[in-house]
Amino acid sequence: MVEKKLIPIKAHFFFFMAALGPILPQLQVFGKELGISSVVMGMVTGILPFIYLLAKPLFGIIVDVHRNCRKTIFMGLILIMAVCYGCIIFIPLRTYNIYNVNIEDVIYRCDNVVQNTSSTDFIDVDCTSECLTKMEKYQLYLNTYTTSNASLCDTTDENQIGELPCTFRCKESIEIPNEVLLKTASFWFFIILLSVGTIAFNVVNSISDAVCFDVIGDQYDYGKQRIWGSIGYGLTALLSGYAMDNFLINMEGYGPAVCIMLIFATLDLFSCVKLDLPIIPAPENIWKELRHLMKYKVVCIFLIFTIIAGAADGFLTYFLLWYVEDISEQYDLKNVKVLEGSIIAAESLGGEILFFFIGDNILKKLGHVTCFSVCFLCYALRLAVISMVSSPWIIVGVEFFLQGPSYALTYLTIVAYANDIAPSGTSATMQGIAAGLDDGLGYALGSLTGGILYRYIGPRRTFQIFAASSALAGILHYLIHLCFLRKTASPRRYEAEYSCVSQTSNPL
């Protein structure tokens, strides 16, 4: 039976994350459909995490000054988030043309053909003759069932294995050159809405955790409250995917997703009426505490690998659906939004829920060091398998089974590890630092690096590079602790031992 005092926080998590499910995973894809390149998108999402780090203490100052209005400010941030994400629907998306082109036209009749062979996933072809309706730049996707030197894009004849295809279905590139993109109003409108909405979301998300811990105290588990957010997120992501592909056909683009988001954001505002927001004290001198923590090798190693874990998760967060869109074009897949919604639902409703429940038991059996190393190997496996899928639908199964041991277990391990190594009285500071480096600096690194690699070496190789990096990080993390930090005491243990020695040597 659910305790009555827990119902408001469970409801808030469910409705708040349900409002984000249809929109948050699609923001990168929306930018792609505006003609924004992966490099520019990576730069934008790489800068935003640093703003989150400033937004949280700013919110703390505001609520300290206006303590009687804490709930109003909190609900106001939810409203700002919903309005910003909702207004994205008014930005017109770019359209593209699809042509059926003969291979002889592309190879022999075009005056100027420039092939970008740096990627194994697509080739850029520029035609300046009349062989293609008009002069355009085309991004021609490679076909998996033809030889690499014979295929420029998807052939319409799947039976011509290893032979030179005759007819190709070529999609016109909608990517806008950066110098032109920066002069368009739609780009800046999107960036402003994305930035303000996502900053509001991150502040609300952070405060929601503080509210939850204040409500549950030491009596209840945080994971069993937060899990309702995962359920809401997965359900609405799946619902919006089906809606965008199959229902509400009179609404263009992302209209169905925005409608679902607004409905659940409204329900969340009603649920927040019953929430009691705690007073969140600010640390007296966070830089002094940080300098103290940095004296310990174990803390430095933990924070470095926390950044690496955040980079892997940030890359998946920002570019997984971008990758799905690209390979769906390659396989001429229909109902792409259903696929994307299914992927998010599989992540949230599959392994994530399971590992939020059993994660504590795994930590107790393996220990923090081993568990953190295993998390990196799980990320490596997840990224590697995604890079080699023969069908986009396989990604649904990959995310169902590997989201839990990668993302959920990493999240729990970082929180528990930070608590374990933090000196007495600095647990909150350590948690804040770890979270900031994980979804702050780590996400920025993953987004920026991923965006550049994705553009210049192709999506599959980028996923493989992140997979190899994650595997190397897991092995290094374990070896460093085994060879160099095995006998190194944590700050908390060191202080406890020092305290015992002091008390024993005290003649009084």
- What domains sit in the chain, N to C, each tagged with a CATH number? 1-95+177-282 (1.20.1250.20), 98-173 (no CATH), 286-508 (1.20.1250.20)
Query: Higher confidence at residue 250 or residue 145?
Result: 250
Whole-Å CA distances, 55 to 48, 265, 275: 10, 21, 22
CA distance 414 to 307: 11
Q: 116-120, 325-329, 429-433: which has the highest mean pLDDT?
A: 325-329
> Measuring CA to CA, which residue among 106, 137, 110, 143 is closest to residue 124?
137
Q: What are the residues whose beta carbons fall under 8 Å from the beta carbon of 362, sequence distance 6 or more?
A: 355, 371, 409
Q: What is the pLDDT of residue 450?
A: 93
> Measuring CA to CA, which residue among 261, 322, 327 is closest to residue 451?
322
Block residue for tokens 């092995």: 475
Residue 115 has pLDDT above 80, yes or no: no
Q: Which range, of 342-346, 353-357, 468-472, averages the lowest pLDDT?
A: 353-357
Q: Report the SS3 class of residue 481.
A: helix
> 171 falls in which pLDDT band (50, 70, 90)?
low
CA distance 92 to 34: 8
> 463 falls in which pLDDT band (50, 70, 90)?
very high
> 480 falls in which pLDDT band (50, 70, 90)?
very high
Structure tokens at 151: 């295929």
Q: What is the pTM of this model?
A: 0.75
To the nearest 10 degrees (0 to 180), the angle between helices 368-387 and 297-330 is 20
Query: Higher confidence at residue 364 or residue 269?
Result: 269
The chain-wide mean pLDDT, for the chain, equals 76
CA distance 13 to 292: 35
Residue 389 has pLDDT above 50, yes or no: yes
Residue 270 has pLDDT above 50, yes or no: yes
> 311 falls in which pLDDT band (50, 70, 90)?
very high
- Summarize pLDDT for 278-295 with one digit per residue, the tens: 665 555 555 666 677 778
Q: Report the SS3 class of residue 97.
A: coil
Q: What is the pLDDT of residue 491?
A: 57
> Measuring CA to CA, which residue among 138, 136, 166 is closest to residue 150?
166
Mean pLDDT in residue range 258-282: 83
Q: By the 8 A CB rule, do 245 and 335 touch?
A: yes
> 247 falls in which pLDDT band (50, 70, 90)?
low
Q: What is the pLDDT of residue 310?
A: 92
Q: What is the pLDDT of residue 470?
A: 97
Q: By the 8 A CB rule, do 492 and 422 touch?
A: yes
CA distance 283 to 384: 41
Q: What is the pLDDT of residue 127?
A: 44
Residue 457 has pLDDT above 70, yes or no: yes
> 170 falls in which pLDDT band (50, 70, 90)?
low
The percentage of residues in the chain with a pLDDT greater than 70, rounded to a whole number, is: 70
> Cα dihedral sign for 47, 49, 54, 60?
positive
